[in-house]
Amino acid sequence: MLPTAGRGAVNAILDAVILANSIYEIAKDATYPNIRSAFKEYYNERFPQAKADLESSKRMASLSSGQVPKSLPYL
């Protein structure tokens, strides 16, 4: 992510909170299947947004370096 986007710190905080909540919910029954389930829940919740942020960062980096995206050939 671009340092000027401010998404790195936000994503780190969201990751920490969501992962902590997922793990907290299994604290009393920390079996292997429950731990796997907690990490899967975390992944399913965070991956789509993290992927979208990465793609957005790539587009902004291309634009800020003067590259024209292939999807905008008229620029």
2 contacts 61 by C-beta, under 8 angstroms: yes
Domain count for the chain:
1
36 versus 27: the higher-pLDDT residue is 36
Is residue 37 a part of any domain in this protein? Answer: yes
Is residue 71 a part of any domain in this protein? Answer: no
Residue 33 structural domain: 7-59
- Name the least confident of 7-11, 18-22, 46-50: 7-11
Is residue 72 a part of any domain in this protein? Answer: no
| Beta carbons within 8 Å of 68's beta carbon, 6+ residues apart | 62, 75
Q: In the prediction, which pLDDT does 1 show?
A: 56
pLDDT band, very low/low/confident/very high, at 18 (cuts 50, 70, 90):
very high
Per residue in 45-68, pLDDT (tens digit) is: 999 998 888 888 777 777 777 766
Is residue 69 a part of any domain in this protein? Answer: no
Whether pLDDT at 73 is above 80: no
How far is the C-alpha of 14 from the C-alpha of 54, rounded, in Å? 15
Of the candidates 20, 21, 7, 6, the one whose C-alpha atom is nearest the C-alpha of residue 49 is 7
